[in-house]
Structure 1
Amino acid sequence: MHTPPELLRAAAIAAMPAQTKTHLLNPNAVRSAKALGAATGLKHLGIHLMTVQPGHAATEYHRHHYEEQCFYVLAGQGEVWIDEQPYAVGVGDFVGLPARGAAHTLLNTGSEPLVFLAARQMLAQDVCDYPRQRQRLYMDGDEEVLVAYEQIRPAPG
């Protein structure tokens, strides 16, 4: 029987190669991701099956100005840092992060891989702050510009 492109079977997901990425501002932020949304043709909603190994973070501590994000923990345990406060997370926990909300990151504090679904909007443009690094990232499609907080100037007028 034919499987439509909108349906990803568990065996197909298991066979998908994961893309490993290290965050540009944090060499300890290393994650492997399978782009489930893109594999089914989604263009405006990014759904990723993420894996973070023990002792690593999923990303640098940050907040988005325009995109919303969320995480749903499938396996393992960790900490989500929200507004500089750590909170333990485990299987079945959900984290919703509104645009212009609190800065956050997700860490694997356990001894097994931390596996979670991550979802976010796939906006053409976004701005992302990294408060611990005092950096702001401007994103426009594939173009990204990183600016130190001290260099940010309001538009004249």
Structure 2
Amino acid sequence: MTDATKPTAPLAINAKDAPPRSKPSNYPEPFFSRMLKREKRPLGDLFGLKNFGVNLTKLAPGGESALLHRHSKQDEFVYILEGEPTLVTDQGEVQLSPGLCAGFPAAGLAHHLVNRTNRDVIYLEIGDRTPGDEGSYPNDDIKAVLGPDGKWIFAHKDGRAY
């Protein structure tokens, strides 16, 4: 293929037209089923971004963004577009609404969003892809290590594999 015939990333897209991930979560059970009310559209991947990810995420009523977690190396940021999720942290909760945003430095607060309303929540989530990242989950028997291939490896907190 010449440079002129190589497939290229789009210059721009309507974010809501991006295809959703085919698998709602990488978590093993019993955590996987908790993510069934979450839909992620990986926008950054469509443009070939390597250093950080961007997802357009929808939480249906009763949905949650992730397990309550923190990253050892990854920074995360969310920007609310529609709906009113609750930001739950290990230091308290706050109601969010469109236009509000929140950031989570590496090794900071454990956090996740939950949708306790009767309408969808839509937000952007942005995170870096620092190699060697680990996820810790204060409320659940799970830990995660980012493998060299960029995929998460999950285990129980005592080290047993899922």
Answer yes or no: same fold by TM over 0.5. Answer: yes
Identity of aligned residues (%): 22
Aligned equivalent of 1:29: 35
Unaligned segments of structure 1, at least 5 residues: 153-157
1:43-82 correspondence runs (5 A): 43-82=50-89
> Scaled by the length of structure 1, what TM-score is found?
0.83
* Higher share in strand: 1
Q: 1:144 to 1:54 in 2, by over 3 A?
A: same
Measured on the aligned residues, the alpha-carbon RMSD in Å equals 2.1
- TM-score (norm. length: structure 2): 0.81
Task: Tell me the alpha carbon deviations over residues 134-156 of structure 1, each in whole angstroms, 9 at most, x when there is no partner.
Answer: 4321121345433333449xxxx
Cα offsets for 1:6-32 (capped at 9, x unmatched): 63232xx33322125144325223321
What is the identity, as a one-letter code, of the residue corresponding to 1:110? T
**Where does structure 1 differ by over 4 angstroms across 4 or more consecutive aligned residues?**
none
Q: In 2, Cα distance between the equivalents of 1:144 and 1:73? A: 26
In structure 2, runs of 5+ residues without a counterpart are: 1-7
Do the aligned partners of residues 150 and 8 (structure 1) sit closer, same or farther apart at CA in structure 2, a change above 3 Å counting? Answer: same
- Distance in 2 between residues matched to 1:84 and 1:60, nearest whole Å: 15
Checking the alignment, whether the CA contact within 8 Å between 2:18 and 2:43 is kept in structure 1 is no
- For residues 116 and 13 of structure 2, what CA distance do their matches in structure 1 show? 30
